[in-house]
Chains A and B, each alone.
Chain A
Amino acid sequence: MISAIKMHLQGIKTGLAVRMAYRADFIISAFIMLISEFFGPLLTYLIYNNEASLPGWSMYEVLLIQGVFLLSKGISFPFFFGIVWNTLDRVQNGTFDLLLIKPRSVLQMVIVTGFDSEDLGKLIGGLALTGIALYRLPRPGLSEWVAFIGLFVISLVVMFGFALILAGLGIVWIGNYRVYEIFSSIANFGMYPASIFSKSLQTVITSVIPVAMLGFIPASALLGKPYENTLYAVIISFMFLFASLLFWNTTLKKYTSSGG
């Protein structure tokens, strides 16, 4: 366990050193990463400033959901979502084999070598947006904070599940960089209040692919108006993780039996 932590820390240090080699590029990339994530909050701002609204939700409540969504991405993208691009690149150029000759699980190796420091911009953006929204909203109590932290951790579980599925697809569909578009088109449902969607869509985003967990569900708990099917979504989130682990292992087995 300690050696695994040491290895991950060294991976982060190395990842940072690699990106710092080109300072200007690092700063500009991190900034662009941040800007590209602000499209959703900007849209919210425009809606509310044109006398429209999402029924039942104030502007800052919606911005909080989007802040939490960005925060979830801000932690998962630098620290483990990089496995998607890392796997895609390595399978395509043949260096995935190099991970298999290391005395660690392949999953650990793709995480360690896939630290993506540019995405730390998302983390800063998420912290800022959540902070601004919370400043304008009534202060949550202790129980809201506890529920929020628990659910936020589960949002990371869902993110990890997504990363595993996309990385697994990267092994099967060699060089298909479109996999990320699949993720973003599905995940973006998580940055709006579920109640604005039809009942059937609500069922999909909580009970089939639990993207509501990525922003909406933890933010609702923090706002003191928890979503009615939260417990159900928590169970589905763990099932989602389990299924994605199974998928990753299946694709990995396919790789080791076919040689890539």
Chain B
Amino acid sequence: MIIKVENLTKIYKTYERGNTFREAVYSLFVRKPKYVEALKGISFNIEKGELLGFLGPNGAGKSTTLKVLTGILFPTDGKVDIMGYIPWKNRKKYVAHIGAVFGQKSQLLWDIPPIDAFYLNKAIYSIPDKSFKKTMDYMVDLLDVGDLIKKPTRLLSLGERMKFEFIMAMLHNPEIVFLDEPTIGLDVIAKDRIREFILQMNKEGVTFILTTHDLDDVERLAKRVIVINHGQTVFDNSIDALKNHLGDKKVLSVSTHSPLPSLEMPGILVKNKISEYNVELELDVAKLELNKFIDYINKSSTINDLSVQSLPIEDVMKDLYS
């Protein structure tokens, strides 16, 4: 077990300001404290080498959890043990073993080439010359950015910059890497390259904790998913279990040669009846097996075309977020 989180709680103290002019002036002198429970006792464990999707709607407590796990924030209560460290107590020693990529906060330096920022990181982490060069060359090669490394960061595209953000975060060979929206705003090709890089590094033993709203990222990368909402864990299981969370359902689009029979039967939920011959529906295969459904339609109306898809993961997320 590389990460152990037990009953993590965080209560923020904020102040109510009010929205009218009178309330705003009043708040200059008297401020009413308000306590916000961002985390209400979440617990989970992560094994070494896992690639975990950490999901939740905006304001669910994801960032707070991530900040506690990276040693930025003190929790109000609860226990965290990461590689034997308590992040907020042994911060300096602990963070030498982790890396972080934030899609919305750059660690590179805007006006100078990425390689200069890498050298600053080398000095900060005291990375020996040999290991620095080896890791940098390897990652530069893997992400195919060799000809861009000496170009000022401000002249790079978002996708190119994000590749360098990954190198910057991993030059010191961290054992755990926290990713916060790493593919935000990227085109499909850049996303693919980044995802391949993450998978490759994960294969080499790096543990990743991925926070994202991009469900494609989750489906392509994560083997296990934790979903939190309102400061509590609402789901913690494999990605396959997540897909089947709403039951083993399929989305079907059916078109027939003659008018469709009655679809009012258990296991069928008509989503869109386009015409007498054409319908989109959701099939609960636990209640009505797929082959029985096909037999039923084919017998009465002869199938012309049929497509079967799994329930979109978005539907599962909507259910968990609600």
Q: Which residues of A approach B to under 8 Å, CB–CB?
A: 3, 6-7, 9-11, 13-14, 17-18, 21-22, 94-95, 97-98, 100-105, 109, 112, 256-259
Task: Specify which chain B residues have a CB less than 8 angstroms from the CB of A9 in the assembled complex.
Answer: 123
In the bound assembly, the distance between CA atoms of A257 and B73 in angstroms comes to 6
**Chain A: CB-nearest residue to B178:** A101
One digit per residue, 1 when the CB lies within 8 angstroms of any chain A CB and 0 when it does not, for chain B 41-74 equals 0000000000000000000000010010011111
Instruction: Say yes or no: A21 contacts B152, CB within 8 Å.
Output: yes
Complexed CA–CA distance, A112 and B117 (Å)? 12
- Which of A13, A98, A105, A256 is close to B107, meaning CB atoms less than 8 Å apart? A98
B13 within 8 A of A: yes
What's the Cα separation between A164 and B109 when bound, in Å? 24
A259 touches B109 (CB 8 A): no
What is the CA–CA distance of A180 and B74 in the complex, to the nearest angstrom? 30
Contact, CB under 8 Å: B72 / A10: no
Chain B residues 263 to 301 lying within 8 A of chain A, measured CB to CB, are none
Closest chain A residue to B120, Cβ basis: A14
- Listed by A's residue number, 30 A-B pairs whose Cβ atoms lie within 8 Å are A6-B123, A7-B123, A9-B123, A10-B122, A11-B123, A14-B109, A14-B117, A14-B119, A17-B112, A18-B112, A21-B112, A94-B105, A97-B105, A98-B107, A100-B72, A101-B70, A101-B71, A101-B72, A101-B100, A102-B95, A102-B124, A103-B95, A103-B96, A103-B124, A103-B125, A104-B92, A105-B92, A109-B124, A256-B73, A258-B12
B93 contacts A by Cβ under 8 Å: yes
Which of B74, B91, B106 is within 8 Å of A257, CB to CB?
A: B74
**Which 5 residue pairs are nearest across A and B when measured between Cβ atoms?**
A10-B123, A103-B96, A21-B111, A7-B123, A3-B126
A44 to B106, CA, bound (A): 47
**Chain B residue, CB-CB nearest to A11:** B120
What CA separation (Å) do A158 and B253 show in the bound complex?
Answer: 76
* A104 contact from B109, B112, B117, B124, Cβ within 8 A: B124
Residues A259 and B64 in contact in the complex (CB < 8 Å), given A102-B95, A105-B92:
yes
> B residues within 8 A CB of A18?
109, 111-112
How near does chain B come to A9, taking the closest CB pair, in angstroms?
8
Taken together as a complex, chains A and B put the C-alpha atoms of A17 and B64 apart, in Å, by: 35
Q: Which residues of A contact B126 (CB under 8 A)?
A: 3, 6-7
* Chain B residue contacts of A100, Cβ below 8 A: 70-72, 91, 95
Number of interface residues of B (CB under 8 A): 34
Q: B72, B96, B116, B124 — which one has the most chain A CB atoms within 10 A of its CB? A: B124
The verdict on B321 contacting chain A, using a C-beta distance below 8 Å, is no
Interface residues of B in 1-46 (CB under 8 A from A): 12-13
Q: Tell me, in angstroms, the Cα distance from A94 to B107 when the chains sit together.
A: 12
Q: Contact at B72–A259, with CB atoms within 8 Å?
A: yes
Determine the distance from Cα of A178 to Cα of B126 in the docked complex, in whole angstroms.
37
Give 4 A-B pairs besides A10-B123, A98-B105, A101-B98 with Cβ atoms closer than 8 angstroms: A10-B122, A98-B102, A101-B71, A109-B124
B106 cross-chain contacts in A, Cβ below 8 A = 95
Chain A hits for B88, CB < 8 A = 256
List A contacts of B112 (CB < 8 A): 14, 17-18, 21
Give the docked Cα–Cα distance between A6 and B124 (Å).
Answer: 9
B24 CB to nearest chain A CB (Å)? 17
Instruction: Give bound CA distance, A62 to B105, whole Å.
Output: 48
Nearest A-chain residue to B68, judged by Cβ: A259
Chain A residues within 8 Å of B119, by CB:
10, 13-14
Smallest CB gap from A7: residue in B: B123
Most chain A CB neighbours (cut-off 10 Å) among B64, B70, B111: B111
Q: CA separation between A10 and B121, bound complex, in Å?
A: 9
Task: Give Cα A3 to B123, complex, Å.
Answer: 7
Nearest-neighbour CB distance to chain B for A74, whole angstroms, equals 24
Q: Which residues of B contact A21 (CB under 8 A)?
A: 111-112, 152
Complex Cα distance A151/B257, Å?
98
Least Cβ–Cβ distance between A176 and chain B, in angstroms: 15
Please, how many angstroms separate the alpha-carbon atoms of A105 and B12 in the complex?
25
Kindly identify, within residues 98 to 156 of chain B, every residue whose CB is under 8 Å from any CB belonging to chain A.
98, 100, 102, 105-107, 109, 111-112, 116-117, 119-120, 122-126, 152
CB-nearest residue of chain B relative to A93? B105
CB-defined contacts of B120 to chain A, threshold 8 Å: 10-11, 14, 112
B70 lies within 8 A of A103 (CB): no
The residues of B that contact A10 with a CB separation of less than 8 Å are 119-120, 122-124
A98 and B91 alpha carbons, distance in the complex (Å): 13
Chain B residues, Cβ within 8 Å of A97: 67, 72, 105
* CB contact between B67 and one of A17, A103, A105, A259 (< 8 Å): that residue: A259
Q: Chain A residue with minimal CB distance to B91?
A: A100
Q: How far is the CB of B68 from chain A (nearest CB, A)?
A: 9
Please indicate the chain A residues that have their CB under 8 angstroms from the CB of B72 in the complex.
97, 100-101, 256, 259
Cβ contacts under 8 Å, B93 to chain A: 103
Q: Report yes or no: A258 in contact with B13, Cβ–Cβ below 8 A.
A: yes
Q: What separation, in Å, do the CA atoms of A143 and B71 have in the docked complex? A: 50
- Smallest CB–CB gap between B130 and chain A, Å? 16
Q: Within 8 Å CB of B70, what residues of A?
A: 100-101
The docked-state distance in angstroms from the alpha carbon of A34 to that of B126 is 36
Distance A163 CA – B111 CA, assembled complex (angstroms): 26
Most buried by B among A94, A101, A103, A257: A101
**Complex CA–CA separation, A95 to B111 (angstroms):** 16
